[in-house]
Structure 1
């Protein structure tokens, strides 16, 4: 009886002694399996990443689509060629006098408007710089001048910039065969009196002077014509003709793009209109009395 009990105890002890070794063996096998699985998984992920990178490298259109889907931006609205009303282009003059409290509140409103204008100018500057391939600092100077001039003469700065873009492509030294010069292609010999206070005819190629004189001429024609279309037709020298060879439509299309850009919308910098952005040469004005001819001969190609 004692021998049986002793034998059973010895057998049980042998089983218990073998259990840690078996557990360690099983643990090692499990750990090795986990490591093998992890290595296979990382290998598959690495190969997949390399394949994706190769596809995106050779298919930039897919990369752009992926970027657009991950970073959605407001899309540009369809361009409308309807000219804005004159009231929208010309600001109402500020009141002559205000009370102290009124002046304080007006200053606050002006500060808010200034911040909004600065943001718009940055968007417009960046877009025009890319579209016409002009250095950012130079474009910033032109846009700032247009905005300052527009504020002074009460005219929409985006209309000034649209005319400037179509007339010269933002080239301050542009000159047409007809003698139109500068950013806004001003006929300096016709409007020489406007340059007198700015240093004479040589100021026609001065960007600041050219923008100011061209903007004043533009506002004058828009006001006298009673509409933006009529003003643009006169500006390009086609007032006496049935049509302006599409000049007004080009300016208005550019104006609408700038409106969308100034509101923060994404607008392509390359569009079909770019191939036709250069206006047709200004047609000769038909025979007319000298005074009438002077009235119809204006800035433009």
Structure 2
């Protein structure tokens, strides 16, 4: 009987200990939840206060944003490799610094050409109301093509301006297409390596094919004027209705622009279609505007 009472007492004591432990655990969990809730409340209130202060003081918000941006830039800089130019210029350990090589005449000419291209691009963009990036692409393509086929890039651009007003999607009733108004049905063989006649409205393909045709006509005709007359389809006629005059007039403007001179930009419609001179006086007018073929047709 004594052993039974002792066992009951032990069991009662154990249960009491377990109950006490559970009560403590419940109190601990509740305390943690209460603390977490208080923390969230404090964080939320703090966030609201900060937002209110930044809203009321835009200058503080700007300063904070600038500080964060500078910090991000520093972090990016720490993981960004140095530019290749810096690696190439930095002398190896123990090596003597290499003296700068002076630019050659061709390199100086190329740098000058880049500046000329910028002037020409800006002028054509304003004159024909073409987006700057688009005008830059057309001018760059004309210069690259001209350098490859040995033709004056300004003559190519003058033809483009008069033929289409720098509209790559222009098309005439006779079927001439693109920037240089190429008859793709007639010159389809020249588009074979460029994607077929479908590429006639591709600015790069159109400039290349049109320039090759122009160069061929100038060479066969013996002069720029004769080449332009054939290009416009007036080789069998006495007059080209002032086409050569308009192209050469635009060429002279571009020549002045490329030399850094201030040339006014007029209405492109008027520039593309001025009043043609009288047929009897047209040869004299063209002759007055004539320039040495070597200056126009060659680079």
> TM-score band, normalised by the shorter chain?
0.5 to 0.7
Number of residue pairs matched by the alignment: 175
The unaligned stretches of length 5 or more in structure 2 are 1-100, 276-299
Q: Per-residue CA shift, 1:70-124, capped at 9, x if unaligned? A: xxxxxxxxxxxxxxxxxxxxxxxxxxxxxxxxxx99x712210110000000000
Match of 1:212 in 2: 208
Query: Which residue in the other structure is 1:39 paired with?
Result: none
- Is residue 116 of structure 2 the alignment partner of residue 127 of structure 1? no
Structure 2 partner of 1:227 = 223
- After superposition, the CA RMSD in angstroms is 1.8
Match of 2:177 among 172, 178, 181: 181
Q: Is the 8 A contact 1:167 1:278 kept in 2?
A: no
| Distance of aligned partners of 1:190 and 1:278 in 2 relative to their CA distance in 1, 3 Å threshold | farther
The alignment's TM-score, normalised by the length of structure 2, stands at: 0.57
Partner of 2:270: 275
User: What does residue 22 of structure 1 align with?
Assistant: none
Q: Which of the residues 244, 249, 263 maps onto 1:248?
A: 244
> Post-superposition shift, 1:278?
4.3
Task: Select which of 194, 198, 201 maps to 1:198.
Answer: 194
Question: Relative contact order (C-alpha < 8 Å, sep 6+): which is higher?
Answer: 1
Query: Which of residues 108, 114, 121 is equivalent to 2:104?
Result: 108
Structure 1 CA distance for aligned equivalents of residues 148 and 176 of structure 2: 24
TM-score w.r.t. length of structure 1: 0.56
Alpha carbons 2:214, 2:227 under 8 Å: kept: yes
Secondary structure, counterpart of 1:196 in structure 2: helix
Runs of at least 4 residues off by over 2 Å: none
Deviations 1:164-191 (A, max 9, x none): 0000000000000000000000000000
User: Take 1:145 and 1:199, find their aligned partners in 2: how far apart are those partners?
Assistant: 18
1:136 aligns with 2:132: yes
1:125 deviates by 0.2
Q: For the Cα contact (< 8 Å) 2:246–2:273, is it kept in 1?
A: no
Q: Which has the larger radius of gyration?
A: 2
Q: Contact between 1:127 and 1:269, CA under 8 Å: does it hold in 2?
A: yes
**What CA distance in whole angstroms lies between the structure 1 residues aligned with 2:262 and 2:116?**
13
Residue pair 2:146, 2:152 contacting (<8 A) in 1 also = yes
